[in-house]
Structure 1
């Protein structure tokens, strides 16, 4: 089975099309004003319309309130809700019932105990997304371009539905996959020329590295 590829933090039609043309399986839209990858409600709807039918659409939020989530869900119609805040399993289950989308829950990792904590999401999250624990000074829960020790995931059952994220780029993703045997990868800052500005060439290089690795 091929590795599923998600390109996250897309904010412009040009780079969204580059991700689609490169063969990304999932495209991610970020609704979090502190992020340089944040998109407005209108832009999120526009990008989702371009992607629909060509890739699955993930909507990334951070403890978003109900009213905002309802507006976003109506505009984007996401296939996946990617939760990066302090959401509880109960909250995630509620969102899954409300919107009928897959739930991907980000779990920040620095130690083996962090990996073990993902067990709390069994039966609730369709996938756990293992991301590097953000630097203390960062206002962002993800997209910091930081990797964690991939060997912490080496003992995970490869049949387990998880996503590898955090510090991936075209140069290191093959090594990361060799160590973790991850069934899916998620990249954002690793395919940018500047924070929030995706680079079509790096997007293509990342997809090629995963497919050829």
Structure 2
């Protein structure tokens, strides 16, 4: 859909109305041609179907096909599309995305395509992604029980090497009265296997 030739102020007003999903405001600005973009927001398959019927250029149609291919490659992920969402994506030149996870407050990641402008004014296309780990850590993801085993005095060095090869952190006791908790050990070697303490 060709964009009306707006003055810069009118264009900014139109972008603000799209940001606010204000269909009535678009109509008042005589920009109702953009209302279908607001209506297209939703689950990816529905959004792509709604966007496919709009009168857009071949370049936009190719981009929609590329988005469809990306979505098809993520069959186990719930993907939604919002063609008017620009908050935090103002620098993006094509696709921008945010990741959310069940039980996690806010975004867990964000990224997309952008252009890096060189000193000579030319631009280099780039794609980037940032992962926000605070929410993941707050949700307890990536945290696992420590696999530290206390090796009593006299433990066979071959047994210790085997434990390390299996991913255990080993702590060698220097006295017979050493306690696993003093060394943050979750297990103690019983001569055959690591025993939970």
TM-score by length of 1: 0.24
TM-score by length of 2: 0.25
* Structure having the higher Rg: 2
Structure number with the bigger relative contact order (C-alpha 8 A, sep ≥ 6) is: 1
